[in-house]
């Protein structure tokens, strides 16, 4: 058997160490800048590169004035400028359409199903079924683009040219909402009313020192395609206008149908969607926090957005809406972050800063456009001046052309015969024979005077920023007249806002509250107590506290770890006496191993002006005012509820002084009145010595109910600290049974 050849040794690639900083600079930073500059952040014309490439493709396809074409044709043609998949390009197209309703002023006139901005589940039809063309507004977007108003660059494969920016004749950057997430930065630009922005831009050109407050008098607030109501906070808006950062609060707009007892939501905040709202409503209904509603449904149709909520009888719709604004995205924030590219550099600017940059950009566009027109007219004037010289002797021109033997000598002979340059001679030589008459030449040369005036006027405009601004202002007034719309987003004053008060929605009724030794809590209606149900507890468990209260009352629970937990009675479901109830450590999320020591209920309008009595193992005790546990915020947990220097033995709520029997580990006891215990205002006060104890002795019990100790009266003390009295025999038996 032939021997197998030995394989060549494996060549391992050499690993070269590279500092992480070098890796970031060479590999990560180019990617970062590509995302920022070429994808996610809009430029001063208000477009991202994907938008600009798409619209320019449609412009070159003749879709500004021509009929609609299939969207798939546009997507295919756009790939020549945008090297992405057809689905990504089509998604870009969809957002710019009238049918999607994502823009105040759509750029694409559409036919077919394009989904809706306010719904994530409403899909658009495939591109082969929908048709599009450029909207009339795009005339203002492309104004001057064929007259060198903007710079052009090669596309990705250098087969054709595309514009770096579009010469928008109005500040589209503030009229079209734009969201984008790049690497390390994001952009979130809200939309403003077109008419207001045009007026504000004109005002800024007249007065470059315009303040934010003055601009707020013209551009009063953002205006969103979805409408809704904006809660007008002038200070917040002033900050957005100044820095480009901040937020506005939006509220859904609704109607109440009294006949059908239902609420119709007709406009929602731009920053949310129908599905998000319905998901939140479903969750609230499941949790039992929205009992006022019997049903809700999506009733969006050809007329627009509508979400209908069916109400129970006697539900106040205004009151319910304050609750929904608080608990659902029917009230939502739009966070503004005005990041945009200025000459390829990301900058965050306020409204005045953006308008100032746009004015500079538009001035440059007009200078380029007028310079292009000026050069054309100068060239034409130059040719006509040459033609006018032939008027002096047409016969000479004819004889020169007729007498020239070679065609290539016609131009030089005309140049010599009339003292004109080569372009002028070329122009004369190209005139048809029928036009070589005095009438034609005189009519053509009459344009010289008008051309000279036009050239003079163009030179005057190009050289004067004031005149250029006047042209911009004139264009803006025309755009406002043609495309201006009333505000969709209406303003409401903060004084009109009725804040949600949870307590107003809590049903009030009488209940019995029971806390067991093991930490189980029951809320039982008095109606349920009238039945024959027996109280059920875990084996070995018993009632620690039982109180009558109302469903609107508040609760406080003290634990053995020097912590207190607050809750509301309405947080717990009413149950039958035969149920075990809620396990408080789990319900209120106690720390591991933490046990309930005491509970107290306070009525809705009750002032906790009494005391809490704390008895510690080391024989000390303290009274702390209940008011020390009041909080301004809805805090659920209070740490440092009492001193943790010694283990706690008992905690009692003192509505009035009561007798307390303290028993030590040496079977000695004292009976004192809580009025003797000093009151401290600090929650963590260690207290004073109540029971004089020897070393290694401790308090084992502090009993408010001492009726089972027949000799308790013999242990009474009227001064503190006090030495314990030896328990009598039958009291010792009670104590031993208790310890067991």
User: Which CATH number does the domain housing residue 73 bear?
Assistant: 3.90.199.10
Show the tokens assigned to 292: 């006022």
H-assigned helices in 524-613: 526-529, 584-587
538 and 413 in a single domain? The answer is no
Taking the C-alpha atoms of residue 304 and residue 112, their distance in angstroms, rounded to an integer, is 15
Show the tokens assigned to 1: 């058997």
Cis geometry, peptide bond prior to residue 721 (ω within 30 degrees of 0): yes
459 and 428 in a single domain? The answer is yes
According to DSSP, the residues that pair with 624 across neighbouring strands are 612
134 and 281 in a single domain? The answer is no
Contact 249, 237 (CB under 8 A): no
Taking the C-alpha atoms of residue 654 and residue 193, their distance in angstroms, rounded to an integer, is 63
The 3-state DSSP class for residue 24 equals: helix
525 and 448 in a single domain? The answer is no
What residue has token string 């006891």?
Answer: 669
H-assigned helices in 446-522: 447-462, 465-483
What residue has token string 């001046």?
Answer: 385
User: Which CATH number does the domain housing residue 396 bear?
Assistant: 1.10.268.10
Smallest Cα–Cα separation from 385: which of 325, 440, 446?
Answer: 446
Q: For the whole model, what pTM was predicted?
A: 0.76
Taking the C-alpha atoms of residue 93 and residue 114, their distance in angstroms, rounded to an integer, is 9
Q: Can you give the pLDDT at residue 460?
A: 93
Q: Can you give the pLDDT at residue 333?
A: 94
Domain count, the chain: 4
595 and 654 in a single domain? The answer is yes
307 and 449 in a single domain? The answer is no
Burial of 158 (0-12, 13-18, 19+ CB in 10 A): exposed
Smallest Cα–Cα separation from 385: which of 322, 448, 328, 442?
Answer: 448
Q: Residue 241: in which H helix or E strand, if any?
A: helix 234-243
* Conformational region of residue 648, where left means phi above 0, alpha means psi within -120 to 50, and beta covers everything else: beta
Structure-derived torsion over alpha carbons of residues 188, 193, 194, 200, reported in degrees to the nearest 10: -90
The full 3-state SS of 410-457, as one line of letters, equals HHHHHHHHHCCCHHHHHHHHCCCHHHCCHHHHHHHHCHHHHHHHHHHH
**Catalytic positions, please?**
129
User: Which CATH number does the domain housing residue 652 bear?
Assistant: 2.120.10.90
**Cα 160 → chain centroid:** 39
Show the tokens assigned to 354: 């953006």
According to DSSP, the residues that pair with 192 across neighbouring strands are 222
Mean pLDDT per block of 10 residues along the chain (740 residues) reads 62 70 69 65 92 95 93 94 88 94 95 92 92 95 93 91 95 92 82 96 95 95 95 94 94 93 94 94 89 91 90 89 92 94 91 96 95 92 84 80 83 85 85 74 82 92 94 96 95 85 71 90 83 78 88 89 90 86 90 91 72 92 90 81 91 91 89 91 90 89 86 88 84 59
User: Is residue 49 a part of any domain in this protein?
Assistant: yes
58 and 124 in a single domain? The answer is yes
CB-CB neighbours of 166 under 10 Å: 25
Q: Residue 649: in which H helix or E strand, if any?
A: strand 648-654
541 and 583 in a single domain? The answer is yes
The full 3-state SS of 113-180, as one line of letters, equals CECCCCCCCCCECCCCCCEEEECCCHHHHCCCHHHCCCCEEECCCCCCEEECCCCCCCCHHHCCCEEE
**Cα 597 → chain centroid:** 44
Q: 453 Cβ partners below 8 Å, 6+ apart?
A: none
Q: Can you give the pLDDT at residue 503?
A: 62
Q: Can you give the pLDDT at residue 446?
A: 82
Residue 460 phi, psi dihedral angles, 5° rounding: -65, -45
User: Is residue 66 a part of any domain in this protein?
Assistant: yes
Taking the C-alpha atoms of residue 682 and residue 203, their distance in angstroms, rounded to an integer, is 61
Burial of 1 (0-12, 13-18, 19+ CB in 10 A): exposed
User: Is residue 669 a part of any domain in this protein?
Assistant: no
**Single residue among 117, 140, 168 that ends a domain in this structure:** 168
Taking the C-alpha atoms of residue 396 and residue 402, their distance in angstroms, rounded to an integer, is 10
Contact 457, 195 (CB under 8 A): no
What residue has token string 């922005």?
Answer: 197
**Single residue among 135, 150, 168 that ends a domain in this structure:** 168
**Cα 636 → chain centroid:** 28
User: Is residue 57 a part of any domain in this protein?
Assistant: yes
The 3-state DSSP class for residue 571 equals: helix
583 and 475 in a single domain? The answer is no
Smallest Cα–Cα separation from 316: which of 551, 495, 500, 492?
Answer: 500
**Single residue among 424, 455, 483 that ends a domain in this structure:** 483
Q: Can you give the pLDDT at residue 445?
A: 80
Q: How many residues does the chain have?
A: 740
* Domain membership of residue 610 as a residue range: 502-658+674-690
Taking the C-alpha atoms of residue 524 and residue 526, their distance in angstroms, rounded to an integer, is 6
User: Is residue 37 a part of any domain in this protein?
Assistant: no
Q: 238 Cβ partners below 8 Å, 6+ apart?
A: 212, 213, 216
Contact 632, 665 (CB under 8 A): no
Q: Can you give the pLDDT at residue 629?
A: 87
């Amino acid at each position: 058997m032939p021997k197998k050849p030995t394989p060549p040794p494996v060549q391992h690639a050499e690993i070269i160490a590279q500092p992480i900083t070098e890796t970031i600079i060479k590999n990560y930073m180019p990617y970062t800048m590509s995302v920022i500059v070429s994808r996610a952040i809009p430029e001063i014309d208000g477009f991202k590169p994907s938008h600009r490439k798409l619209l320019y493709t449609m412009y070159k396809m003749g879709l500004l004035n021509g009929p609609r074409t299939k969207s798939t044709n546009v997507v295919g043609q756009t790939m020549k400028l945008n090297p992405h998949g057809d689905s990504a390009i089509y998604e870009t197209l969809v957002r710019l359409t009238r049918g999607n309703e994502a823009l105040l002023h759509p750029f694409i006139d559409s036919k077919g199903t394009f989904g809706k901005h306010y719904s994530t589940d409403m899909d658009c039809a495939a591109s082969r079924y929908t048709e599009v063309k450029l909207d009339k507004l795009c005339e203002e977007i492309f104004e001057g683009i064929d007259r060198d108003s903007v710079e052009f660059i090669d596309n990705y494969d250098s087969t054709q040219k595309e514009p770096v920016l579009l010469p928008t004749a109005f500040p589209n950057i503030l009229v079209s909402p734009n969201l984008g997430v790049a690497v390390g930065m994001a952009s979130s630009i809200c939309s403003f009313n077109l008419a207001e922005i045009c007026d504000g831009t004109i005002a800024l050109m007249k007065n470059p020192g315009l303040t934010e407050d003055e601009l707020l008098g013209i551009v009063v607030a953002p205006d969103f395609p979805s409408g809704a109501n904006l809660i007008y906070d002038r200070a917040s808006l002033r900050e957005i206008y100044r820095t480009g950062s901040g937020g506005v609060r939006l509220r859904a707009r609704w109607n109440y149908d009294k006949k059908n007892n239902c609420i119709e939501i007709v406009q929602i905040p731009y920053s949310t969607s129908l599905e998000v709202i319905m998901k939140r409503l479903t969750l609230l209904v499941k949790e039992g926090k929205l009992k006022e509603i019997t049903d809700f449904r999506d009733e969006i149709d050809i007329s627009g957005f509508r979400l209908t909520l069916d109400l129970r009888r006697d539900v106040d719709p205004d009151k319910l809406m304050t609750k929904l604004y608080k608990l659902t995205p029917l009230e939502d924030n739009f966070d503004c972050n005005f990041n945009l590219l200025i000459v390829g550099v990301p900058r965050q600017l306020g409204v005045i800063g953006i308008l100032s940059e746009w004015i500079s950009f538009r001035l440059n566009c007009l200078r380029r456009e007028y310079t292009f027109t000026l050069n054309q007219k100068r060239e034409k004037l130059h040719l006509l001046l040459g033609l006018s010289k032939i008027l002096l002797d047409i016969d000479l021109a004819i004889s020169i052309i007729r007498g020239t033997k070679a065609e290539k000598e016609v131009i030089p002979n005309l140049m010599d015969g009339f003292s004109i340059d080569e372009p002028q001679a070329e122009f004369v030589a190209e005139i048809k024979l029928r036009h070589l008459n005095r009438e034609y030449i005189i009519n053509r040369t009459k344009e010289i005077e008008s051309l000279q005036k036009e050239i003079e006027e163009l030179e005057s405009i190009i050289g004067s920023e004031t005149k250029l601004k006047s042209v911009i202002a004139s264009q803006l007034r025309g755009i406002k007249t043609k495309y201006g719309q009333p505000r969709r987003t209406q303003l409401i004053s903060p004084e009109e806002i009725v804040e949600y008060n949870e307590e107003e929605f809590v049903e009030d009724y009488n209940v019995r509250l029971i806390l067991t030794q093991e930490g189980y809590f029951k809320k039982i209606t008095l109606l349920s107590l009238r039945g024959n149900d027996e109280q059920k507890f875990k084996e070995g468990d018993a009632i620690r506290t039982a109180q009558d209260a109302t469903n609107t009352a508040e609760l406080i629970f003290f634990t053995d770890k020097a912590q207190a937990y607050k809750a509301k009675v309405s947080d717990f479901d009413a149950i039958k006496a035969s149920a075990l109830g809620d396990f408080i450590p789990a319900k209120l999320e106690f720390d591991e191993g933490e046990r309930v020591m005491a509970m107290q209920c306070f009525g809705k309008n009750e002032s906790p002006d009494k005391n809490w009595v704390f008895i510690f193992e080391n024989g000390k005790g303290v009274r702390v005012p209940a008011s020390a546990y009041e909080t301004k915020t809805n805090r659920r947990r209070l740490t440092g509820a009492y001193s943790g220097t010694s283990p706690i033995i008992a905690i009692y709520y003192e509505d009035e002084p009561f007798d307390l029997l303290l028993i030590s580990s040496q079977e000695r006891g004292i009976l004192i009145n809580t009025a003797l215990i000093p009151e401290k205002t600090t929650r963590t006060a260690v207290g004073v010595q109540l029971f004089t104890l020897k070393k290694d002795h401790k308090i084992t019990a502090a009993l408010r109910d001492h009726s089972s100790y027949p000799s308790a009266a013999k242990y009474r003390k009227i001064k503190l600290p006090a030495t314990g009295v030896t328990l009598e025999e039958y009291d010792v038996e009670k104590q031993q049974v208790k310890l067991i």
